[in-house]
């Protein structure tokens, strides 16, 4: 108890932070969600103020003190996970000089294309640059400019006065860890996705060659630390803000992708899970680096002994469902898809590319569409199409990822995230994939996965992955495919494949 017996786990997403108090049994004793604004504007702008993240955390922890009255004495560790691919420009003291360019920010798309393109070209990439990126980093920046590489260059080109004052260019979680400890660090996932990290076995670290090739100043990049590394205790100011002892230890933390992987319990090599929130991704650990240039996915180097973690991201999941919900009457999210009628043979098709797409086609200019609308279609038909469209989009991505050597394609598929708690969607995904679905701690898998990082420090388990395996048995629901519906969705998926080709061609 001198060092505390509870962990405070904070999972920072696009729209808010989920903060929980977790005990040795990985049970959430109390939890709070606090939102913060996202500024969207024309030209692809999607920004957040870093201080809003910290204010939301402080508000959430204050609420947790009411739920766990002795939290101040019992909290032993604070761990963060967060959205990836943000860029926060900080001065030498870690003060943000401008709002964060979040992962959704696409204003750097022209710079992204310029950075990677050129003759001779392979899949939209200049051949010799692509080869260097693949050899050193096991991937390359997305052409849509959403990766940190292009964002850093955008600040350098369009806001030179900010760039000149910038001492650190870091991701969301990195800024939070500094705000808590006064130490600036980054995690391997964030470093990898800046595409200036050497991810080769035994060489993990910033690559001077890639920094030179891209024009990224290596001096502005933070030291890379492991997810379970103790960065330091809380500063006096942070302890005061959070109402905690200054002896509370803060770990290096991780990305939302690895947090959800740990939270799903799928930590064996080749075991995949699907995370479904604003966006969606298929992820899983593999024993070595993997990449598909043609389908825009790869492994990134994770913060657990640099273990390769495959990530295949799709831009639209919950965001697409929320949009369809809003244009069809705006029913509450909890009930909007609960009673939408029986699927019909002539239901419209829906392509959920409302913010472009990444996997298995990397094209930020793609846009969504309903196809096959008729006068008889009503709001329920549009909602059925939306559920089906997101599920079949995931089927499309899974058909590529499942080809990877060692990928486990038998047995239940674990899903996590807010959309996973939607029973209509979970059943549709089961039918679309013709596979059993296991819903994990849907809305809190990221929080629990983040907490497992502190398990070795707290003496709860020998390793974070050992702790995570305990979560695999915690299913909130299971779904089995309906044979008739699975056959119908296979037929519709085949028709959708032809439609996709025409739509993709129209944007090329």
DSSP 125-175: EEHHHHHHHHHHHSS---TTS-SHHHHHHHHHHH-HHHHHH-SEEE-HHHH
Residue 121 clears pLDDT 80, i.e. is over it: yes
The answer, yes or no, to whether the previous bond of 120 is cis (omega within 30 of 0) is yes
Residue 443 clears pLDDT 80, i.e. is over it: no
Tens digit of pLDDT for each residue in 149-166?
Answer: 999 999 999 999 999 999
Least confident interval from 76-85, 466-475, 494-503: 466-475
Give the model's pLDDT for residue 333. 83
Least confident interval from 111-120, 148-157, 425-434, 436-445: 436-445
Tens digit of pLDDT for each residue in 268-286?
Answer: 999 999 999 889 999 999 9
- Averaged over 60-79, what is the pLDDT? 98
Least confident interval from 88-92, 315-319, 484-488: 315-319
| Pairwise CA distance, residues 85 & 190, whole Å | 7
Q: According to the per-residue pLDDT averaged within each range, which of 347-356, 433-442, 469-478 is highest?
A: 347-356
Higher pLDDT, 251 or 356: 251
Which residues pair with residue 224 across a beta bridge?
Answer: 186
| Pairwise CA distance, residues 193 & 332, whole Å | 36
Q: What percent of the chain has pLDDT over 70?
A: 99
Give the model's pLDDT for residue 1. 46
Please count the residues of the chain. 508
Residue 178's nearest CA partner among 222, 216, 220 is: 222
DSSP structural state of residue 348: P
Least confident interval from 22-26, 190-194, 366-370, 437-441: 437-441
Give the model's pLDDT for residue 508. 77
Give the model's pLDDT for residue 2. 59
What does the mean pLDDT of the chain come to?
A: 95
């Amino acid at each position: 108890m001198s060092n505390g017996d509870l962990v405070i786990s904070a999972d920072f997403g696009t729209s808010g932070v989920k903060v929980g108090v977790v005990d040795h049994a990985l049970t959430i004793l109390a939890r709070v969600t606090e939102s913060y604004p996202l500024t969207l504007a024309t030209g692809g702008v999607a920004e957040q103020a870093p201080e809003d993240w910290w204010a939301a955390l402080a508000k959430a922890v204050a609420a947790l003190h009411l739920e766990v009255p002795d939290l101040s004495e019992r909290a032993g560790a604070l761990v963060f996970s967060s959205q990836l691919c943000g860029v926060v420009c900080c001065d030498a003291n870690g003060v943000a000089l401008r709002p964060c360019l979040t992962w959704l920010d696409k204003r750097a798309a022209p710079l992204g294309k310029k950075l990677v393109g050129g003759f001779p070209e392979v899949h939209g990439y200049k051949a010799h640059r692509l080869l260097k990126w693949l050899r050193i980093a096991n991937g390359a920046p997305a052409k849509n400019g959403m990766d940190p590489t292009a964002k850093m260059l955008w600040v350098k080109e369009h806001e030179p006065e900010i760039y000149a004052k910038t001492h650190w260019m870091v991701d969301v979680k990195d800024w939070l860890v500094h705000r808590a400890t006064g130490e600036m660090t980054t995690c391997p996932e964030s470093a990898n996705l800046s595409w200036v990290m050497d991810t080769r076995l035994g060489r993990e670290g910033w690559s001077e060659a890639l920094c030179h090739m891209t024009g990224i100043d290596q001096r502005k990049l933070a030291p890379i630390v492991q997810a379970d590394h103790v960065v330091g205790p809380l500063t006096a100011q942070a302890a005061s803000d959070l109402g905690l002892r200054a002896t509370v230890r803060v770990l290096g933390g991780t990305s939302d992708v690895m947090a959800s992987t740990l939270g799903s319990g799928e930590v064996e090599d080749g075991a995949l899970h699907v995370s479904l929130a604003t966006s969606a991704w298929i992820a899983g650990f593999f024993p070595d680096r993997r990449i598909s240039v043609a389908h825009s996915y790869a492994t990134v180097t994770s913060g657990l002994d640099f273990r390769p973690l495959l990530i295949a991201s799709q831009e639209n999941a919950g965001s697409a469902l929320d949009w369809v919900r809003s244009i069809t009457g705006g029913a509450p999210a909890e009930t909007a898809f609960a009673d939408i009628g029986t699927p019909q043979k002539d239901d419209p098709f829906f392509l959920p590319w409302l913010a472009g797409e990444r996997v298995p086609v990397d094209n930020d200019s793609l846009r969504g569409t309903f196809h096959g609308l008729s006068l008889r279609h009503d709001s329920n038909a549009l909602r059925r199409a939306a559920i089906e469209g997101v599920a079949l989009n995931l089927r499309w991505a899974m058909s590529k990822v499942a080809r990877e050597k060692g990928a486990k394609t038998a047995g239940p598929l674990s899903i996590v995230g807010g959309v996973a708690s939607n029973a209509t969607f979970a059943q549709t995904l089961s039918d679309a994939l013709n596979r059993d679905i296991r819903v994990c701690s849907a809305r809190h898998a990221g929080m629990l996965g983040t907490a497992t990082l502190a398990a070795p420090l707290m003496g709860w388990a020998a390793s974070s992955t050992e702790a995570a395996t305990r979560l695999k048995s915690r299913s909130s629901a299971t779904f089995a495919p309906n044979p008739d519906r699975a056959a119908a969705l296979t037929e519709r998926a085949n028709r959708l494949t032809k439609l996709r080709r025409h739509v993709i061609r129209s944007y090329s």
